[in-house]
Structure 1
Amino acid sequence: MAPQHDDARERLIEGTCELLWDRGYVGVSPAAILRRSGVGQGSMYHHFKGKSDLVLEAERRSAALMQEEFTAIFAADTTAFARISAYLLREREVLRGCRVGRLVADPDVVVDDQLREPVRETFALLHRFLAEAIEEGRAAGEFAASLDADETADTLAAVIQGGYALSRAEQSVAPYERAVRGALALLRASAPESSARTDH
């Protein structure tokens, strides 16, 4: 029986992850979770206290996956510009938006510190990785010494999140792709004249 219980719990979490990505918190109902997961109502309440408990677990799962992706990208033994480029150019389902970032569009998530924490933690980690790469790039002469690491890190994160919004509004990936190309062009333009600007 234990493996079946574990399977039901996993299906509930995975189904909720997908629903949150597609609909956001307010669009996810217990009935929708059960339909997507293919489990009975008894299984849901056996494993979780209710919707918010399950959603929190699903949020943590999605956040952990994103954090693993960030960690792998920024752990690469390449230049700072190459690591930042790898993050910005990472393959994404643009028209679905950010599976983590879109959650803070829901008022119920924003006002609940516990539900908001996985999102905050994920963006804090991304900020740290980006800021460290920018600092390293400045020290190596890849970027202008005047570039502020914290401000630029937030700008790059905002390019991705804003690019999602623009593309979803247009139902086209073109605005997102333009935003990413623009951000990379600005980074390259900040490089001192003596620095190689062709490193990808």
Structure 2
Amino acid sequence: MDTRERLIESARELLWERGYVGTSPKAIQERSGAGQGSMYHHFHGKPDLALAAISRSAEELRERAEVQFSGPGPVVDRITAYLRRERDVLKGCPVGRLTQDPDVMSDPDLRRPVAETFAWLTDRLATLLAEGRANGELDARLDPAATAGALVAVLQGGYVLARAAGSPEAFAQAVDGAVGLLAGHVRRGGE
């Protein structure tokens, strides 16, 4: 991994662990093993590096989600695979946690990849749900956009509940509830 990549990965980890204010240039340099000159050679400063790190986290979230979304099988199975995939629940969502960081949310450039990622995720889920409704897999009364928003909210809320409880069980329970609600809209046979 070259110096630029080490800096981005170190910033990603620190932003996830400590937030923007707690992620100092010195901490990034120490974790990455890069010197100050290297950091400022590749980035114009902390905001520039943070943007690269946040963008990378957002891109990775989208790529990982797309693996399940574009896989084989019925829509509900693909969405369930996404909801139940392995996550480091007690650390929280690396993108979702940034919404609680006032320094990230008050900076339009840093907020943009966060907002775009959640918009993409909600739209992607809505598209899948609409596909399931159109192909007869899901009840025609299901509202794809509202259901997609609820699924994203359950995931993010599940992280919060798990962190508050200090147990991944709270996240698993939230996901199980969402999967159960979604299963209630699956059309069976000639229904």
Q: 1:95 aligns with which of 62, 87, 90?
A: 90
The equivalent of 1:24 in structure 2 is 19
Q: Does 1:123 align with 2:118?
A: yes
2:42 is matched with: 47
4+ residue segments displaced more than 4 Å: none
Tell me the TM-score normalized by structure 1. 0.90
Q: Specify the code of the residue in structure 2 equivalent to 1:106.
A: D
Aligned-residue offset at 1:74: 1.2
Conserved? CA contact 1:74–1:83, under 8 Å: yes
Instruction: Provide structure 2 residue ranges, at least 5 long, that are not aligned to the other structure.
Output: none
| Residues 82 and 46 of structure 1, relative CA distance in 2, 3 Å threshold | same
Q: What is aligned with 2:146?
A: 151
* 71-80 vs 95-104, greater mean Cα deviation: 71-80
| Runs (5+) with no aligned partner, structure 1 | 1-5
The TM-score, its normalising length taken from structure 2, stands at: 0.94
Report the residue type matching 2:82 in the other structure: Y
* Backbone CA RMSD of aligned residues: 1.5
Mark the CA change 1:30 to 1:88 in structure 2 (over 3 Å): closer, same or farther. Answer: same
Q: Deviations over 1:140-176 (max 9, x none)?
A: 3332211111110010001110000000011100110
Alignment correspondent of 1:3: none
Amino acid at match of 1:11: R
Identity %, equivalent residues = 54
Q: Deviations over 1:125-144 (max 9, x none)?
A: 11121001111111233322
Deviation digits for residues 19-70 of structure 1, max 9, x if unmatched?
A: 1111121221111111111111111111111110100011111111111112
